[in-house]
Amino acid sequence: MSDQEVGKGSPKSSSLSPYEEAMEALSSLITRRTRADASNVGDQFDLLFDYLKMLDLEDPIANMKVIHVAGTKGKGSTCTFTESILRNCGFRTGLFTSPHLIDIRERFRLDGKEICEEKFLAYFWWCYDRLKEKTDENIPMPTYFRFLALLGFKIFAAEQVDVAILEVGLGGKYDATNVVRAPVVCGITSLGYDHMEILGNTLGEIAGEKAGIFKNGIPAFTVPQPDEAMHVLEEKASQLNVSLQVVTPLDAQLLNGLRLGLEGEHQYVNAALAISLCFTWLKRTGHVGDIYLEQTDKLPEQFIKGLTSASLQGRAQIVPDQHLKGERSNRLVFFLDGAHSPESMEVCARWFSLAIKEYNPDQTLFHQQLDNSKFSHEVVKTHNGERVSQGKSTPILLFNCLTVRDPQLLLPHLMKTCADNGVYFKKALFVPSLSVFNKVGPQAFTLSDPKVDLSWQFNLQRVWENLMQSSKGKNTDIVSEELKDDMETSASNCEHSAVFPSLPLAIKWLRDRVQQNQSLRLQVLVTGSLHLVGDVLNLVKK
């Protein structure tokens, strides 16, 4: 990008760093409005095409070789597998996903890595300044997510990626990514009940919104769906002359003894969808001769490498607390998964139940696992192939969810599935979110805010305590004495749970427990919200 093209940024002088200044500008675009309709001029979908003209992005998008993916569950995983496969096939990839966990730049990946700060700032101000100059009362500045999507298009066009993989933010029909008129191929991942306040109250209505990414004559793939959803997808596909194919889960034997880079049985469905998207993209872009595709009984080497090396933060990820020294970090381990729907809660609970039984880190091996979303069977091997007990492990739940979610649906699924697998939480910790809706960028990690409203967390605690009361007698284990003591930092301590006024206080309490008791090993499941997962990662990773 030339000097003339680079945006100047905000003219005001301040003590903020250039990156913080960009985050301030980005935060100014956040509104509480979430539905794209005609009720507010700034939310009209057609405005997106005005923004594309202002940014000279019409032709670049028309020439972009796009893979477009919508769905309720598995969008991020499918896009991650897809990007990893095509990158290992030798293509320059651009990946646009949401949300981010720690840094906004996670949403824009070039060749598998988040965009560097220097490039991000250059493209950010180029887009922001131009839109500020050209928008007015009739065409106001785009809202937060729309701006990010436009920025993604600018980055991928300027960086001349071979393929742009776009994850829909919300729904499909009115999503900002849906300005792409002619993607190469589309995918719909598993559908379920989520964002019902926006997308509709039935699976059919939700499927109709997702199918809004179908384009006339463009092939599409989906996974097995409930009948109500599948009927709507097939009907929409038929209306648009779309060849819609349903993929079956990947046969694990095709991986030649290796494991998928993303953990969980459900990932075999997402992997199969990614394979179909990649095969079709290669064929339709004229690259079919580059990769040997025709053998159905085996996968190309590049596909296997892409599937087994893919990684995604916050989904089935295991991170020992890196702020505890030496062996203590092995005694406080966080199992992170951003599940936030009833179905994904069950998947998360099954993964956690298996993971805590397999995860027994050998000091010489665990460092290899820190940033990998998968845990290896190698980790459980110790001297002479025998397991070595390092003290009894204690499962802890660290939970928060958005107020639009129903904890009466989420928490019972989580508790029952864990119990069915012989896992019982000794304590559940409920905390408010550190991330705030109207600000992007690093939050101030204060231990406690006296003004914080904990009414939602108390509600979550009541649901949990009632569930524990109704399941009494099924779990013979009693709450550890070590977890009953020293709860003065909590806002509310019950027999099976506690509410903390901040996440840092809850983390401090966990750290204090393992530092004061050498035999205690805490395995903490962090779930219910990707925002919570991101905040925890920020606090426990160096």
Task: List residues forming the annotated binding site for ATP.
Answer: 315, 337
CB 285 within 8 A of CB 185: no
Q: Is 307 helix (H, G, I), strand (E, B) or coil?
A: helix
Q: Tell me the two tokens of residue 357.
A: 């039984």
Q: 75-88 vs 267-284: helix axis angle to the nearest 10?
A: 50
Q: Number of H helices and number of E strands within the chain?
A: 17, 15
d(CA 169, CA 296): 33
d(CA 487, CA 390): 26
421 Cβ contact partners less than 8 Å away, ≥ 6 residues apart: 349, 350, 353, 354
| Region of 441 on the Ramachandran plot (φ > 0 left; ψ -120 to 50 alpha; else beta) | left
Instruction: Please give the biggest Cα pair distance in the chain.
Output: 73
- Closest by CA to 269, choosing from 95, 75, 66, is 75
Which residues are documented as binding site for Mg(2+)?
98, 167, 195
Which residues are documented as binding site?
98, 167, 195, 315, 337
Q: Which residues of 429-459 are buried (b: 16+ CB within 10 A; e: fewer)?
A: bbbbbbbeeeebeeeeeeeeeeeeebebbee
Q: Tell me the two tokens of residue 443.
A: 């939050």
479 Cβ contact partners less than 8 Å away, ≥ 6 residues apart: 426, 427, 495, 496
Q: Which strands sit side by side in the sheet containing 393-399, from one edge to the other?
A: 317-320, 332-336, 521-527, 393-399, 427-430, 497-499, 492-493
3-state secondary structure 29-53: CCCCCCCCCCCCHHHCCCHHHHHHH
